[in-house]
Amino acid sequence: MNPFSASVSRTARRFPFLATAALSLACATLPLQQSAAQLQQKSASSSDPWWKHAVVYEIYPRSYQDSTGDGIGDLNGITSHLGYLQNLGVNAIWIAPMYPSPQVDFGYDISNYESVDPQYGTLADMDHLIAEGQKHHVRVILDMVLNHTSDKHQWFIEASSSRTNRKHDWYVWNDGIPADSSGVTPYQKRFEHEGRVPPNNWVSGFGGSSWEWVPAVHQFYYHEFYKQQPDLNWRNPAVEKAMFASMQFWLDRGVAGFRLDAIPSLFEDPQLRNNPETGGINAQGDPNVGNTYTDNLPEVHDVIRRMRAMVAKYPGDRVLIGETYLPNAAELDKWYGGTAQNELQLPMDMLIAFHGNHSALNAADFRQHIQEVETQIHGAQPLIVFDNHDNVRAIDRYGDGAHDDQINKLLATMLFSTRATSLMYYGQEIGMHTTTPTHREDVKDPIGITGWPKDKGRDGERTPMQWTPGPQAGFSTNPHTWLPIPPSYKTINVAVESKDPNSQLNWFKQLIALRRDIPALHSGSMTMLDTTNPDVLSYVRSTDSGPAVVVVMNFTAAPKTITLNLAGSGVTGTTVKTLAASDPTLTSISTLTDITLPPYASWIASVQ
Q: Which residues are part of the catalytic machinery? A: 261, 323
Q: What is the SS3 assignment for 130?
A: helix
Q: Within a 10 A sphere around the Cβ of 450, how many other Cβ atoms?
A: 16
Which residues are paired to 577 by β-bridges? Answer: 606
> Which H or E run includes 37?
helix 30-45
Residue pair 438/427 in contact (Cβ under 8 Å)? The answer is no
Environment class of residue 278 by beta-carbon count within 10 Å: exposed (0-12), middle (13-18) or buried (19+)? exposed
Residue type, 88: L
Q: What is the SS3 assignment for 405?
A: helix
Q: Which residues of 363-399 are buried (b: 16+ CB within 10 A; e: fewer)?
A: bebbbebbebbbeebeebbbbbbbbbbbbbbbbbbbb
| CA pair distance 249, 255, nearest whole angstrom | 10
| CA pair distance 12, 234, nearest whole angstrom | 45
| CA pair distance 274, 187, nearest whole angstrom | 13
Q: What angle do CA 437, 443, 448 make, to 5 degrees?
A: 95
| CA pair distance 384, 352, nearest whole angstrom | 7
Residue type, 368: Q
| CA pair distance 183, 201, nearest whole angstrom | 11
* Closest of 219, 173, 178, 214 to residue 195, by C-alpha: 178
Q: What is the SS3 assignment for 219?
A: strand
Cα torsion 55, 61, 64, 68: sign: positive
Half-sphere exposure of 432 (CA within 13 A, CB side): 31
Count of residues for the chain?
Answer: 608
Distance linking the first and last C-alpha atoms of the chain: 46
Q: Within a 10 A sphere around the Cβ of 356, how many other Cβ atoms?
A: 10
Inter-CA distances, 505 with 65, 86, 405, 511, 521, Å: 18, 14, 11, 10, 20
